Amino acid sequence: MLNIDESLKTIYKNDLLPLVSENVKKDLDIYFPSLNLHIRTDQIVDDSFELSESLCSESDLLFGSCEASSVKFTVADVTVDITGLEFIINQIVDDVHTVPLGKYKVDSANKQDDLRFKDIIAFDKLKDVDIDVADWYNSLNFTNLTLAQFRASLLLHLGIEEELRALPNDNMLVQKTIEPTSISARDVLIACEEINGCFGHINRYGKFAHIILEPAYGLYPSETLYPSDDLYPADENDTTYVHESIIDETVSKAMYKSVRFEEYTVKEIDKLQIKSEENDIGTIVGTGANAYIIQGNFLVFGKSASELESIAQNAFGNMAKRPYRPYEAENIGLPYIEVGDTLEFATDDTVTGYVLQRTLKGMQALTDNYTATGNEERELNFGVNRELIQLQGKYTLIKKDVEGVRIEVGDLAKNTASQFELTDEQIALKVGKDGVIAAINLTSEEAKISADKINLEGLVTVTSLTTPGSVVIDGGNLKAGTVIADEVRADWVYAGNINASQINAGSISGDRISGGTIDGVIFKSTGPSYGTTIIESGYIRSYSGSNEASFSMNEIHINHPDGDISLQAGNIVISNGLYANSVTCSSINANSHTHYTNTIYPSLTYPAENIGFNGKNAASVTWCNANFQPISSSDLRLKKDISNIDDRIDEFYYNLKPKQYKFKPINDGTSESPLNDNKVHFGLIAQQVKSNLESAGLIEDFALVKSRPVKKYSNEGLYVNDEVMRIEYEELITLTIYQVQKLYKEIYEIKNKLF
């Protein structure tokens, strides 16, 4: 309640008396400091002024609420734009008394149709606290930071002056418990007020005030918090008593037009629970059934049990013993009454109630509407800060029910969590960080330990429960009767008998290794100069660098940089070019000679008549293959300088001239080369394609046309150097796809234009 002269209060209380009302002058003064502009009563439309204040507009009390107040009025002959400007409003009574009505900022100033009048709507500074303050929060130094300092820093950041008042948890240390990328200033203010059991409000002087509802009865919680022995002298257990010291104003029958009370009394909050989330037990003070739950308040994340209990006791002192009757009243205007005050209505059945919302209207003849809503028992048993659970950094969850007990402690910022769960069937322990989890599970059937690393210290003894015996692991020793494993790795193994699927060791040595059969093993020998030899089942492989030779039941293969030779059943495959000084044999017979991979260049020293194909001797043989195959890959990792196809390719592509032709016979047609088929073929001429590339300005080293030197064996037994040009049709396929795509795009654009 505003501290004003008692004579002024009497003037307001007697406002219904005609003589008093007519003889008392009440003016409004609306002052814009930035414009040095005063708007007085003669510019304000009669009865257009309305002041609305709210402590909590929810159906049940939600501690921590920070709701903005507003004013509305219609003003004449204000030509300047006042939107967004701040002003101070006072009521002047008899040109002597000044009653502050608050500080506000114009939210809208809409002109009426005649353009002379403007409808003004303005709010106090709590209207503008829905802004992101994550940068402010993340920049704080949390070393020994108290809640009072934390809140003062935020209000300074928001440009709001604070009305200082001692609050029970203001000495609580605030730690950085969240890593927000965004967080609302209103949510932070709500968290600060809720943990103190109070409400945030901008008072009539424009300061952020902490509103605490006075208790309706009893000495609570102790004389140390309320040191005056006679402050609340009522019996602690007398819940029907309301001491006159908590009554801010009595509203007589002559002062109200109507008042309607609910038949029930909102039950007092007799238990407070603070927890991190829904399944968490947290800390509980009080033993009643009408509980208030503070859930998800990030200011208390990570607090110890003893710290939480102290915090809960302090907050509970501002919440408990506050039963009230919900009501709605209309009476004469009392501007000095503020939200949070306690009123006594002198009805036939005298009733007290808190002012949770009020609307003051008028200028000369003022009216007030007071409202306090509430259910008999709480429906919303949690605080306004419940949504901040998503931002918590540290948390402790405790769940107890008939099924068992579950405790979880975690830190979202570090991505760590540990969990203990106890039921009638199992005990489970789990610790995790960044997705790496170690766990122990105990049931009546087994004990299971799972982790990336398991370190055991001391003597470990494992005793079989089904057969006699034990395994002892002591330091670097393992003692057991038999060790059977898929894999045993060791530098040295000493044993009379080893039975295992696989043995991997640094060295196996002995004067003699003997056995009837060595089955399913791999022998590998590596020397410093001669390469490596591997013997597997049915396979021998020897290699050094890029040279390799292998032998199996189906194939003998030699891989050399100058060429490959594979001897398979019924076939000899020679690839990549084979150079030899001489090939000597009495005869070479083959059912087929048409499978050439690349070019073969032998220096033949055997008579041509001993070379037979399909049983037919040849006078001379030309070993060549002009139709060599390229080695290509589509793998991105094998490519560089990747770019879009040059637009000049279009000109080149349009000038291609496909032809039909026959191959010239090789060696006067005496050999049976696959090119001597005398058939009609279709394709392009390599020389013309190369000329087209040059005509299109494409002088780069394109792989589309290639030349490769070949050596032919002529009828005269001489080597003839020659060069064969070839078109890489695989490259043309890509260009064709490119042209088809462009054609489809043009067709698609034409279609869109037509249809």
In this structure, which topology does domain 6-372 adopt according to CATH? Answer: Phage tail proteins - horseshoe like beta roll fold (2.30.300)
pLDDT value of position 412: 60
pLDDT value of position 561: 66
The C-alpha atoms of residue 726 and residue 675 are separated, in whole angstroms, by: 14
The C-alpha atoms of residue 753 and residue 468 are separated, in whole angstroms, by: 89
Question: Percentage of the chain with pLDDT > 90?
Answer: 30
Identify the residue with better confidence: 541 or 563.
541
Sign of the CA dihedral with 210 first, then 215, 220, and 223 last: positive
Residue 598's pLDDT band (cuts 50, 70, 90): very low
Overall pTM > 0.75: no
Under a CB-based contact definition with an 8 Å cutoff, are residues 252 and 238 in contact?
Answer: no
Q: Tokens for 328, please give them.
A: 């709605």
pLDDT tens digits for 326-344?
Answer: 999 999 999 999 999 999 8
Mean pLDDT is highest, among 102-106, 293-297, 538-542, 558-562, for 102-106
Q: Which residues pair with 320 in a beta bridge?
A: 269
Q: Tokens for 479, please give them.
A: 């003692």
The yes-or-no verdict on residue 394 having pLDDT over 80 is: no
- The whole-chain average pLDDT of the chain stands at 77
Residues in the chain, overall count: 755
pLDDT tens digits for 440-499?
Answer: 888 888 888 988 888 877 777 777 656 666 777 766 677 776 767 667 666 666 666 666
- Burial class of residue 83 (count of CB atoms within 10 Å of its CB; 0-12, 13-18, 19+): middle
Residue 546's pLDDT band (cuts 50, 70, 90): low
Residue 199's pLDDT band (cuts 50, 70, 90): very high
The yes-or-no verdict on residue 595 having pLDDT over 80 is: no
pLDDT value of position 240: 57
Identify the residue with better confidence: 387 or 28.
28
Span 549-570, mean pLDDT? Answer: 69
Residue 396's pLDDT band (cuts 50, 70, 90): low
pLDDT tens digits for 451-464?
Answer: 888 887 777 777 76
pLDDT value of position 233: 45
The C-alpha atoms of residue 443 and residue 427 are separated, in whole angstroms, by: 7
The C-alpha atoms of residue 412 and residue 391 are separated, in whole angstroms, by: 9
The yes-or-no verdict on residue 617 having pLDDT over 50 is: no
Identify the residue with better confidence: 16 or 80.
80
pLDDT value of position 190: 96
- C-alpha distance from residue 200 to each of 291, 396, 451, 733 (Å): 22, 28, 50, 75
Residues 6 or more apart whose CB falls under 8 angstroms from that of 33 comprise: 86, 87, 88
Classify 729 as helix, strand or coil. Answer: helix
The yes-or-no verdict on residue 385 having pLDDT over 50 is: no
- Burial class of residue 31 (count of CB atoms within 10 Å of its CB; 0-12, 13-18, 19+): middle
The yes-or-no verdict on residue 422 having pLDDT over 60 is: yes
Span 362-389, mean pLDDT? Answer: 73
Looking at 3.10.20.310, 1.10.10.10, 1.20.1250.20, 3.30.420.40, the CATH number of the domain 645-752 comes to 1.10.10.10
Q: Tokens for 178, please give them.
A: 């969240």
Q: Where are the beta strands (DSSP E) in 265-415?
A: 271-275, 283-285, 291-295, 327-332, 342-345, 351-354, 357-361, 367-372, 394-401, 404-411
The C-alpha atoms of residue 14 and residue 579 are separated, in whole angstroms, by: 125
Domain coordinates in residue numbering, the chain: 6-372, 386-450, 645-752
Q: Tokens for 90, please give them.
A: 């006072």
